[in-house]
């Protein structure tokens, strides 16, 4: 639920600056990469979720309890709880992008940045599996810290969560008889994905622009992440992706996002305007 405006203003810019001073000095984690409006809402949510009085109490906890920082970091993450979110994108990926990727003679190298709790990664793996490319792809899945990465590695899904995902998958397949459950097996009171879907995936913590240069990529998926970042960080992030992608490699962002202002945008051509898929120019 969105916090009331009066609650947001209790944090304010000065509160964010104090908070960022602590996270930067003590943990090397710069909050200035996040867009201010969404960051204010997230901080308010963290305060409420942990039953803290205000931002000063949050700062005190971070100063005195280092064990809380990974929790704080994880709670800043915007989780996607759906598989095959935006089925039209996944159809485009299957029908138009995968055939191009399949032409490469080497292993298809993919980076899913901001992998959240893993749904985007698994959706990608399922499409490639159904395209007969099990032995030909490798996915780097990066998250904000170990807690979010562990969530992505070991997530248990429950019936209510899977209802939406199963409907998305049926729309992706355009077949009411198809079901995402064929890739799942029962564990405790929920479901987990079969081990085969994790064999070609490596989960890593993303520590920043300089620390995570992955080169020789054929595809970068960074959907619905740019929107939470400052324009400066968006520009830097696109620069990193440009370095990482081979000529002719693909970049997919959220269909409501815009990176046309970024310095490297002229190094891409629009592959699909509606689904915001771009292809790096071959020169």
DSSP track, 155-220 = PPB-HHHHHHHHHHHHHHHT-TT--GGGGEEEETTEEEE-GGGGTTEEEEE---TTT----SEEEE
Domains present along the chain, CATH in parentheses: 5-75 (no CATH), 87-280 (3.40.50.150)
20: phi then psi, degrees, rounded to nearest 5: -65, -35
- pLDDT value of position 210: 54
C-alpha span between 209 and 56 (Å, rounded):
29
- pLDDT value of position 66: 94
What is the pTM (predicted TM-score) of this model? 0.87
C-alpha span between 209 and 229 (Å, rounded):
13
- pLDDT value of position 212: 61
DSSP track, the chain = -PPPHHHHHHHHHHHHHHHHHHHHHHH---GGGB-HHHHHHHHHHHHHHTT-SSHHHHHHHHHH-GGGHHHHHHHTS-----TTSSHHHHHHIIIIIHHHHTT-SS-EEEEEES-TTSHHHHHHHHHHHHTT-TTTEEEEEEESSHHHHHHHHHPPB-HHHHHHHHHHHHHHHT-TT--GGGGEEEETTEEEE-GGGGTTEEEEE---TTT----SEEEEEETTTGGGB-HHHHHHHHHHHHHHEEEEEEEEE-TT---TTSGGGGGEEEEETTTTEEEE---
- pLDDT value of position 209: 57
Residue with tokens 């020169």: 283
Per-residue pLDDT of the chain (283 residues; tens, 9 = 90+): 333 333 444 788 889 999 999 999 999 889 998 889 889 999 999 999 999 999 999 999 999 999 999 899 888 876 667 899 999 999 999 999 999 999 999 999 999 998 878 899 999 999 999 999 988 999 999 987 787 788 888 889 988 889 999 999 999 999 999 999 999 999 888 999 999 889 999 998 886 655 566 889 999 999 999 999 999 999 999 999 999 999 999 999 999 999 999 999 999 999 999 999 999 999 8
- pLDDT value of position 143: 84
- pLDDT value of position 127: 97
- Is the CA virtual torsion 148, 242, 237, 227 positive or negative? negative
């Amino acid at each position: 639920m969105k916090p009331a405006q009066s609650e947001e203003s209790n944090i304010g810019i000065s509160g964010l600056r104090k908070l960022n001073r602590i996270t930067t000095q003590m943990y090397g984690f710069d909050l200035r990469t996040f867009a201010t409006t969404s960051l204010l809402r997230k901080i308010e949510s963290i305060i409420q979720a942990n039953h803290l009085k205000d931002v000063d109490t949050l700062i005190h906890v971070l100063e005195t309890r280092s064990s809380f920082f990974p929790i704080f970091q994880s709670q800043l993450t915007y989780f996607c709880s759906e598989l095959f979110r935006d089925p039209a994108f996944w159809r485009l990926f299957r029908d138009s992008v995968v055939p191009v990727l399949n032409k490469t003679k080497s292993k298809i190298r993919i980076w899913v940045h901001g992998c959240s709790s893993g749904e985007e990664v698994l959706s990608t793996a399922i499409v490639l599996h159904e395209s007969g490319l099990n032995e030909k792809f490798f996915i780097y899945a990066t998250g904000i810290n170990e807690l979010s990465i562990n969530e992505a590695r070991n997530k248990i899904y429950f019936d209510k969560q899977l209802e939406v995902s199963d409907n998305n998958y049926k729309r992706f397949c355009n077949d009411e008889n198809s079901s995402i459950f064929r890739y799942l097996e029962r564990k405790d009171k929920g479901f987990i994905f079969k081990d085969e879907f994790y064999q070609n995936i490596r989960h890593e913590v993303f520590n920043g622009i300089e620390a995570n240069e992955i080169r020789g990529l054929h595809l970068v998926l960074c959907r619905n992440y740019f929107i939470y970042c400052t324009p400066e960080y968006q520009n830097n992030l696109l620069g990193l992706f440009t370095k990482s992608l081979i000529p002719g490699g693909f970049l997919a962002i959220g269909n409501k996002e815009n990176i046309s202002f970024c310095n490297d945008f002229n190094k891409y051509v629009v592959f699909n305007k509606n689904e915001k898929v771009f292809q790096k120019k071959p020169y």
